[in-house]
């Protein structure tokens, strides 16, 4: 079991805290955790309160018994909280501030090369792929297996570094003003990867121009003469590249995509027998390899991770060989199941976690790589954006859906009205729902053998309940039986 890079003595020093109730001379801390359900044996667990951590964060001191049952190394608590436990405890005035101080001290003590990964979409998929490719080269790498892209998860990624880690991958969401600067300064990366920059989340950014400014701020903490990787196919690529160059003219910028000027260039791709056959030029070398992903964007988008492998000084030949084995089962990247219907099997493409114009159209494109002898059905919820900016996106999406090979579209929620109006005049629109119970009940009765179902919505819409209802009604067919 590897231990975090900071010793208990150093942790007390950087936080100004005091250790009490220690049961042995040497305290072994193997990780940091905040969420009760994710606590592991040997962790240092930070007790949270809404006052110190934010209104949406629960008071976890009330769950102390559940925490201690998981045998953590110790907890971090305030003086008042520490009065009520005999568990090994680091007493600090502010547990949230203690986490930040520990994370930054660990960052500065670590020899790991840090890679910040950001973008409108594709952050988690890029991080998971890059993490797996690095791991297969037996290089110690730290990365979270979930999205983990907000302030506290970013701090946990840094604080969990051990002395063994040589690379640290940190995903950073940049969905508002000032957020890119703050998270970049926390991470202080050696490499920044921009998976894309598209006109989404305009409400929080405050308009199109601000999207570029806010995304480019992610390089503010980049190390001197650092490296930047950009998806050249991003909607805002020229503007983003200019904004980044203005902020960090000392950096070296690499690009990936289909254009001849890209440092990692997709030459050809063909989807066949459930795999992509790809030919690409990466840093001047020609590679032929396969990807076991079905996503339509995969041949071009995965070049970002392969380019990062090369720029980290690792073996691209081994990486392209290993890429065929990669599968992502994390919810934000979309999960595809083959489910057993009484009359035969059907495919469920579960994309209920997030939704916007570009992600939706990309998911619809993915269906072209899924064989169907029945109907292709999509259930679509609203976008995560202010209604003032989303209206135009709904109109554009409706027009694109009308040209797609979908057989049926069902809409959900009030905000989606502009799309619903346009689709009402097409053969596609088969119904509208205002509650997740209605959606679940209808789908269970509608779905037939040979169908393909796409579920695409924001997580906040409660579509996880729809996903759970479908998976409960129809058992998953094991891969070996497909």
Work out the widest C-alpha separation in the chain, in whole angstroms.
74
Q: Which of 77, 75, 121 is nearest to 300 (CA)?
A: 121
Confidence band (pLDDT; 50, 70, 90) for 162? Answer: very high
Tens digits of residue pLDDT in 397-414: 999 999 999 999 999 988
Contact (CB, 8 A) for 329 and 293: no
Tens digits of residue pLDDT in 336-387: 999 999 999 999 999 988 888 888 999 999 999 888 899 999 999 988 665 5
Report the relative pairing of strands 227-231 and 335-341 from DSSP bridges: unpaired
Handedness of CA 340, 346, 349, 350 (dihedral sign): negative
Confidence band (pLDDT; 50, 70, 90) for 480? Answer: low
Mean per-residue pLDDT over the chain, rounded: 92
Identify the pLDDT of residue 144: 95
Is the model's pLDDT at 235 over the cut of 90? no
Write out the DSSP string of 443-462.
HHHH--TT-EEEEE--GGGT
Handedness of CA 152, 157, 161, 167 (dihedral sign): negative
The two structure tokens encoding residue 272: 């066949």
Tens digits of residue pLDDT in 284-321: 999 999 999 999 999 999 999 999 999 999 999 999 99
Tens digits of residue pLDDT in 46-89: 999 999 999 999 999 999 999 999 999 999 999 999 999 999 99
Least confident of 93-102, 206-215, 447-456: 206-215
Q: At what angle do helices 179-187 and 151-159 cross, to 10 degrees?
A: 10
Is the model's pLDDT at 192 over the cut of 60? yes
Identify the pLDDT of residue 205: 57
Identify the pLDDT of residue 176: 84
Domains of the chain: 8-95 (3.40.1390.10), 110-325 (3.40.1190.10), 334-481 (3.90.190.20)
């Amino acid at each position: 079991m590897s231990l975090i890079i900071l010793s208990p003595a150093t942790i007390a020093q950087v936080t100004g805290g005091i250790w009490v109730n220690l049961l042995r001379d040497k305290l072994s801390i193997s990780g940091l955790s905040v969420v009760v359900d994710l606590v592991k044996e040997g962790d240092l667990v930070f007790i949270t309160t809404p006052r110190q951590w934010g209104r949406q964060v629960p008071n976890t001191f009330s769950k102390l018994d559940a925490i201690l049952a998981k045998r953590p190394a110790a907890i971090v608590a305030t003086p008042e909280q520490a009065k009520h436990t005999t568990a090994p405890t680091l007493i600090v005035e502010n547990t949230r501030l203690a986490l930040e101080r520990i994370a930054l001290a660990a960052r500065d003590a670590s020899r790991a090369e840090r890679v910040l990964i950001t973008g409108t979409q594709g952050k988690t998929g890029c991080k998971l792929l890059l993490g797996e490719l690095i791991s297969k080269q037996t290089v110690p790498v730290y990365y979270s297996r979930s999205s983990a892209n907000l302030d506290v998860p970013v701090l946990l990624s840094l604080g969990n570094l051990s002395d063994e880690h040589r690379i640290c991958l940190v995903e950073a969401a940049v969905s508002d003003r000032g957020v890119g600067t703050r998270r970049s300064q926390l991470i202080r990366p050696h490499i920044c990867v921009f998976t894309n920059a598209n006109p989404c989340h305009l409400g929080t950014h405050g308009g199109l121009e601000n999207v570029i400014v806010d995304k480019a701020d992610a390089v503010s903490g980049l190390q001197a003469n650092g490296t930047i990787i950009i998806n050249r196919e991003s909607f805002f690529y020229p503007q983003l590249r200019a904004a980044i160059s203005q902020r960090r003219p000392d950096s070296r910028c690499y690009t990936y995509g289909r254009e001849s000027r890209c440092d990692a260039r997709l030459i050809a791709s063909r989807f066949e027998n459930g795999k992509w056959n790809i030919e690409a030029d990466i840093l001047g070398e020609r590679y032929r390899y396969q990807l076991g992903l079905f996503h339509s964007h995969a041949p071009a988008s995965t070049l970002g991770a392969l380019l990062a492998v090369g720029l980290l000084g690792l073996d691209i030949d081994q990486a392209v060989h290993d890429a065929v084995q990669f599968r992502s089962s994390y919810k934000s990247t979309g999960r595809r199941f083959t489910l057993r219907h009484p009359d035969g099997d059907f495919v469920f493409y579960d994309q209920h976690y997030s939704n916007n114009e570009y992600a939706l159209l990309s998911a619809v494109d993915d269906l072209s790589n899924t064989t169907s002898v029945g109907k292709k059905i999509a259930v679509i919820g609203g976008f995560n954006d202010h209604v003032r900016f989303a209206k135009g996106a709904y109109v554009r999406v409706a027009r694109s859906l009308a040209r797609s090979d979908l057989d049926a579209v069902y809409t959900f929620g009030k905000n989606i009205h502009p799309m619903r109006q346009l689709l009402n005049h097409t053969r596609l629109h088969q119904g509208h729902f205002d509650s997740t119970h209605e959606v679940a009940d209808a789908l269970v009765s509608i779905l037939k053998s040979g169908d393909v179902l796409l579920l695409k919505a924001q997580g906040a819409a409660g579509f996880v309940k729809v996903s759970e209802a479908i998976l409960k009604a129809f058992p998953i067919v094991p891969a070996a039986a497909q």
